[in-house]
Chain A
């Protein structure tokens, strides 16, 4: 083996590196839970590693122990469930972004996820990053948490004390913060299959393809045929705050029968001022983000009602 200039002989490299840590590969969900219980706060789960490994390499995270759950195949894949309730999709937390994108069940029954997942990072990252990892990581600029919220998903979580189900509306709490308690693992997400008349709408603005969005919008809606009005709509914005945000005031305008169709979009765009108070950062001011949110609402409403772009 040749020794390489600028690289240490042990082959551990001397560039951007994680701090020393230990590693355990969980052989089952029970094994992962036992490891979490035994090691407490010193342990961190690793799934696809596509958010965690960058943080390790930059030493923004330095856990003593990594518990690898990426090989728990029981937590992987998409199933259509019909027993015990209304028909729904069960998406395993270890399902990779690329698998979500290729799944015919997702395309048919949860087309919003199908539309959105192509906007997540780049192909090589989608080949490893997982659905559950994205939700648990809860990056406010992420597409999939916003979709999970728009679809009214239910998060199935297991801890050593047992299992519980958390509604998406209660799951995303803040910046990288979810309702997951220490020692808990997100195992699957359930989403109702697309009901009659419902359609997906999705758009985001990023400086480059694959970048985290400056502003994004995921919507799940039931347009009223022939009108510019919705029987129901859940417009969820991302990258406009610490967590994905349902624009309730705009949704009211979009469903209100007392408002004239000709005024509706404009009034809904105005109403976003009540829903959103976006943060400013070097990429965009607060006012610019609010403006872009209004532009996206126009585009997504146009998608949903099937008319050419209105801005």
Chain B
């Protein structure tokens, strides 16, 4: 199918890599298929479910809506990278997700975590309404969302030095 491939150099989770990709390939396929970073999940592949949410140049993006060729020169962080870097926000969220039962099958979790990390970096003490609004672009078919909102709230309180309820 892919008649031509193009060289793309990007920094993923702190390591620079150059890959030959077909221009039609989206970033999520590059991350999963070439780099084995299967923490970036693919649900809908048209921007609706949020399972593929990663950081590109410090801001969240849908990896299924970015062509790999467009990310030449970009700095990409996936859930694996945030975990390895012991990102304190991610760590607090991971602990709170476990404590509050904020995941069942875990399919939505990497995207939820990336979304919540960005929220807590911007807004240290978000209201429950603000949390709900922010995760409105991430589908969860298991939890019914309440537990996820609880977990993000818990993580925010812990990061602010308060012992959560």
Contact = CB atoms under 8 A, between A and B. Distances in A.
Contacts of A15: 42, 45
A124 B33 contact: no
A9 B36 CA distance: 11
Contacts, number: 141
Contact of B66 (A8, A17, A128, A208): A128
Interface string B45-76: 11100100100100111101111011010000
Interface in B1-29: 1-4, 6, 19, 21-26, 28-29
Nearest to A52: B65
B133 A127 contact: no
Given A13-B29, A18-B24, A121-B137, A53 B47 contact: yes
Contact of B65 (A8, A20, A66, A128): A128
A123 B42 contact: no
B35 interface: yes
Interface stretch (A54-62, A181-189, A303-311): A54-62
Interface of A: 1-2, 4, 7-13, 15-23, 25, 46, 49-50, 53-54, 56-58, 66, 68, 70, 98, 121-125, 127-128, 208-210
Given A20-B3, A49-B65, A12 B24 contact: yes
A68 B70 contact: yes
Contact of A21 (B23, B42, B70): B23
Looking at A13, A70, A98, the one whose CB has the most chain B CB atoms below 10 A away is A13
Contacts of B62: 50, 124-125, 128
Looking at A19, A23, A123, A125, the one whose CB has the most chain B CB atoms below 10 A away is A123
Q: Is the interface of B mostly helix, strand, loop or mixed?
A: mixed
B132 interface: yes
Chain A to chain B: the 6 pairs with minimum beta-carbon distance, closest first:
A122-B137, A11-B33, A16-B45, A23-B23, A13-B29, A11-B34
18 contacts: A4-B33, A8-B33, A10-B33, A12-B21, A12-B25, A17-B45, A18-B67, A20-B22, A23-B23, A46-B67, A53-B66, A54-B47, A57-B46, A121-B137, A122-B134, A123-B115, A125-B62, A125-B137
B150 interface: no
B32 interface: yes
B61 to A, nearest CB: 5
Given A22-B4, A125-B137, A209-B132, A50 B65 contact: yes
A124 to B, nearest CB: 4
| Interface footprint category on B | 35 or more
A54 B33 contact: no
B59 A57 contact: no
Interface in B118-165: 118-119, 132-134, 136-138
Nearest to A98: B59
Contacts of A127: 56, 59-61
A122 B25 contact: no
A11 B50 contact: no
A15 B25 CA distance: 11
B61 A128 contact: yes
A22 B23 contact: yes
A53 B34 contact: no
Contact of A125 (B22, B65, B134): B65
Nearest to A12: B25
Contacts of A70: 70
B38 A13 contact: no
A66 B70 CA distance: 11
B30 interface: yes
Given A12-B1, A17-B45, A128-B62, 20 more contacts: A4-B36, A4-B38, A12-B2, A12-B21, A12-B22, A13-B33, A18-B67, A20-B1, A23-B6, A23-B69, A50-B65, A53-B26, A53-B65, A124-B60, A124-B62, A127-B59, A127-B60, A127-B61, A128-B61, A128-B65
A13 B47 contact: no
A49 B132 contact: no
Contacts of A16: 44-46, 64
